[in-house]
Structure formats: C-alpha cells, structure tokens
Amino acid sequence: MSLSKAQKSIAKSDARFRVVAAGRRFGKTYISTMEMAKHARYPDKNIFYVAPSYRQAKQTVWQPLKIQLSKMNWIKKVNESDLTIQLTNDSVISLRGADNFDSLRGVGLDFLVMDEFAYIKEQAWTEVLRPTLSDRLGKAMFISTPAGLGNWAYDLYIKGQDETQDNWQSWQFTSLDGCVMSEQEIEDARKDLDERTFRQEYLAAFETYSGVIYYAFEPSKHIKKFEGADELWTTLKKAPLLLMIDFNVNPMSAAVGIQMKDHIHIIDEIVIYGSNTLEVVQEFRNRYGDRAITAYPDPAGVQNKTSAGGNTDIKILQNAGCNVKYKRKHPLVKDRINAVNSALSSGKLVIDPKCKRVIESLTKHTYKEGTQVPDKDSGYDHMSDALGYGVEFIYPIKKDYGEIQQPRGWGVQTS
C-alpha cells in the first residue's frame, strides 16, 4: 500500500501510542486500514477499529478494509452483521462504535485505532479501551480532525510532543499533506469557509473555543522545548530562575522560568496539594540546588500565612533567600490577563512542553458564561494566576501599581 510522505512518517514510528491531528481528506481511513493490516499479519491478533458511532465505522472503513484484505487473499471469514473479519492466520479485525462504549469491555486487544477520536468521549479511552491493551501490551493509534484546544484530543497531542513521554508520539498534518486533495480545492475551501473553520478542518489547527481567557496562546507558536542541558543552560547558569507563585493552599502552584534576551521561557512547574510556601521553595531547591531565585508572588502574600511560625508568605520567600518582587498595589485581574496575552502575542512568553499545568491553564481557563469574570471553579486559575503575577511585573500593561523589590536579606515592606 503506497503512502504519502506524511503517512509514512506515522507508519514508521515505533511509539506505542501515536496521535495524529489531520485535516479533512488527509487519508485517515487509508492509513488506518494499512495499520490494521500491518498489525494483523501476525497470527492470533485481536484488533479494533473504533469510530464515534457504529454506523460511522461501517460507512467509513468497512468496504475499503474488505477490499484491501481481499486483494491480499487474507480473508477467511466475514461477519457482516458484526462487522468482523477473521483472517487466514486467525487474527480478527472488528469495527466498533463508541456510542455505547461500555459494551467494549472485557476484550484483550493487540492494536486499536480510534478514528475521529476528538468526537468520542474521553471515558471511552480512559475507562474502557485503555485497559483492553494492558494484558497484551497492545498499541493504539488515535487519528482525528481537531476539535479545539479544550478537547481531550489536544491533551493527547501535547502528550505526544513531550519528549519525556517515551511511549507517545504525535503529528499535525494539513489536508494537503495527505496528497489526496489539490491545492486549488483547498484554496476554494478557504474562500467558502470562515477562517476559524478552515484552519481547523483543513489545516488541522487546534482552535480556541468560546470564552477562553488566554486567546493569544497558540501551541505551535508558544510551546518550545528549553534545551537546558546544552550550551544555553551553561551560559545562563548564573542568571536567577524566576519563581512565579500563587499562594492558594490547595494546590500551591508555581511556574519556573528564565529571563532570556527577548522573552521569558517557562521551563518547569511546581504543584503541591495541601502544601505551603516553604514546601514550594524546598521543592525548588531539590530540583535546582542553590540557584538564585527571583520570586514574583501574589501581593496578598504580605498578609497571607500558609506556613507555621506566624510568617507571611512573602517573608518566608525572603527568608529562603529569594529576591522578592511584587506590586505595592494589587494589579487588577484584567491587567494580569492582558499582560499575559500581550506577552504571548509579541512572542515574549514561551512554555516548555513538560509544563502541562501551565499549558492546560492557558488553553482551558475560561470566563463564566456571558461575563468577563474568570471561572475559579474549574481549577485552571491557580497556575494562570501564578504566571500572571510574574509576567505582569516584567511586562506590565499599566505602571501605576508601585513596584516593591526585596533583595535577599532585606526586611519585608508592607506599605
């Protein structure tokens, strides 16, 4: 089966879990059929193809799969009512719908394709299908047109971009990469559709969704690995790390960054439930030793006490050797938000892919419906608040809040 260059890159990967975000008519059915055949060439394998619905599975891949397997003389028996094909080597390929995903329990799988998985409930994977792969150490391929930054498909895509996730790999391909559609057809589609729909359906872009606060965040632009082990880290080893911290006790959240020449690079994150400021600093020291810290806390930390001994949060940071910087007057929430969006728009803020909580906050934190009030019930506000304190101080929208800087060894200023 001949494949396009993009499809070959998917087929050649040996990652256990492969995630493909692809535009319309990329050839998702074709690569899915090929992958099922490839895994079925070994005897006694059990393979599932799962679509959002049983009907969609039948309409999309049933006929192409039968045709391809018939050409190779692999078919032993076909069950039309059950959408199951038994091969001559006793491997079995079954087509299923996720509209009743509880019915998929109890099987053991060697390979799984989840087609248009962005339109399947996440629980179908986490609660039902993932366990089916465990006893046989089965593999899975997820392939879909994106359905927005708030969808679980985006989370899996980001997981596949994280180089620390050895079992995962992900790709993003446009419709043109599949070599099925012509450039002219794609240009015609661009004229017929609104820009957001065109980018999602043909360019496989993960689009923001209604009410998202950090609208300027673009994964392809702002998620960049920080090569800390290379010469860059050695060159910057004397530069202080930035600790942007939110004092919410559950969880305590902090973004760790480094100031580059023209931008801030968020390189790490600290999230500890039921914790306090001192434990956050201790965790930082466990990771980075005696590296100098410039802390950007919530100004409310002048009064807040999350540790024993009667010390305020800001006093604790200062006593731990941090150079503490904050505003005398608490910046407005909208000014923090605007500062982060402005830094994103100008390229002054980028995030390492391992900072999952930071990325999740930027992609999923929304306003309450019909308001400009950030939703604090979702849990996405803690890390975005932490990030906002640092970014607003370094790249302020307004400069009338009065800066307070406390180098190590200074007393705490409270006025």
Half-sphere exposure in the Cβ direction for 118 (13 Å, CA): 24
Q: Phi first, then psi: give them for residue 374, nearest 5 degrees.
A: -60, 140
Q: What is the pLDDT of residue 411?
A: 35
Mean pLDDT score of the chain: 86
Is the pLDDT assigned to residue 2 strictly greater than 80? Answer: no
Q: pLDDT tens across 248-288, in order?
A: 777 889 999 999 888 999 999 999 998 888 899 999 999 98
Alpha-carbon dihedral angle through residues 406, 290, 307, 401, given to the nearest 10 degrees: 30
Residue 27 pLDDT level (bands cut at 50, 70, 90): confident
Domains in the chain (CATH in brackets) are 5-207 (3.40.50.300), 222-406 (3.30.420.280)
Q: pLDDT tens across 349-385, in order?
A: 999 988 999 998 998 888 887 777 888 888 888 999 9
Higher-pLDDT residue of 331, 123? 123
Q: Is residue 228 classed exposed, middle or buried when 0-12, 13-18 and 19+ CB atoms within 10 A define those classes?
A: middle
Amino acid (one-letter) located at 134: S
Is the pLDDT assigned to residue 236 strictly greater than 80? Answer: no
300-to-245, 276, 306, 390 alpha-carbon distances in Å = 11, 15, 12, 14
Maximal CA-CA distance, the chain:
83
Is the pLDDT assigned to residue 414 strictly greater than 50? Answer: no
In angstroms, rounded to a whole number, what is the distance separating the alpha carbons of residues 255 and 293? 12
In angstroms, rounded to a whole number, what is the distance separating the alpha carbons of residues 304 and 248? 10
Angle of helix 195-202 versus helix 183-192 axis, rounded to 10: 150
Q: In this structure, are residues 319 and 395 in contact, taking their beta carbons and an 8 Å threshold? A: no
106-to-3, 65, 156, 383 alpha-carbon distances in Å = 34, 25, 24, 39
Higher-pLDDT residue of 411, 34? 34
- Its sign, for the CA torsion 185, 186, 190, 196, is positive
Q: pLDDT tens across 73-92, in order?
A: 999 999 999 999 999 999 99
Q: pLDDT tens across 306-321, in order?
A: 554 567 888 889 888 8
In angstroms, rounded to a whole number, what is the distance separating the alpha carbons of residues 272 and 293? 19
Written as one string, the DSSP assignment of 254-302 is EEEEEE-SS-EEEEEEEEETT--HHHHHHHHHHHHTT--EEEEE-GGGG
Compute the average pLDDT of residues 187-198: 80
